[in-house]
Structure 1
Amino acid sequence: MENFIFQNPVKLIMGKGMIARLAKEIPSDKRIMITFGGGSVKKNGVYDQVKEALKNHFTVEFWGIEPNPAIETLRKAIALGKEEKVDYL
């Protein structure tokens, strides 16, 4: 095995009322990719809340991420992220 150093700084924003905070956490000049599974986020209102919170940001959506996603699904999401030059996921 080759020697390597891995660093993965991640900030998770979770909890009641936290969706509105997204716009404050992400600079307005950054590009965001939002990923989704099925349509439950539309049924429960989360989709509309996220879109409202990020209305002044560039967003691109990737739909159809299945449980335990297939590598093909992930490759499609990665390709879209690269194509759109996203900064945040």
Structure 2
Amino acid sequence: MLGNFYYSNPTKLYFGEDALQNLEVELQKYGDTVQLIYGGGSIKKSGLYDQIIEILIACGKTIVEDGGV
């Protein structure tokens, strides 16, 4: 038994063509390091990876990647 504990995992999702424009605003609410977890490669083929990395760098974030998940 793990004992008594409380777990909360609030999630905010943005949908639509302009959804990525909200990333910079959301990043301001969190720390300096971002863990980027992604799958096999479609994120890179679509160009989304490059867009996200560009925003993270512009916001001064340290990026920890875990690809191929």
TM-score (norm 1): 0.58
Q: Distance in 2 between matches of 1:29 and 1:7?
A: 18
Say whether 1:38 aligns with 2:40. Answer: yes
Find the counterpart in structure 2 of residue 18 from structure 1. 19
Deviation larger for 38-47 or 9-18: 9-18
Find the counterpart in structure 2 of residue 64 from structure 1. 68
Deviations 1:6-25 (CA, angstroms, capped at 9, x unpaired): 43222223321222321211
TM-score (norm 2): 0.71
Find the counterpart in structure 2 of residue 69 from structure 1. none
User: Once the 2 structures are TM-superposed, how far is the Cα of residue 39 of structure 1 from its aligned partner?
Assistant: 1.2
Aligned length: 65
* Structure 1 unmatched runs, 5+: 66-89
> What do you get for the CA RMSD once the two structures are aligned?
2.3
* Structure 2 unmatched runs, 5+: none
Deviations 1:39-87 (CA, angstroms, capped at 9, x unpaired): 111111000111111112111110111xxxxxxxxxxxxxxxxxxxxxx
Letter in 2 for 1:46: L
Find the counterpart in structure 2 of residue 8 from structure 1. 9
User: Could you tell me the percent identity over the aligned residues?
Assistant: 38
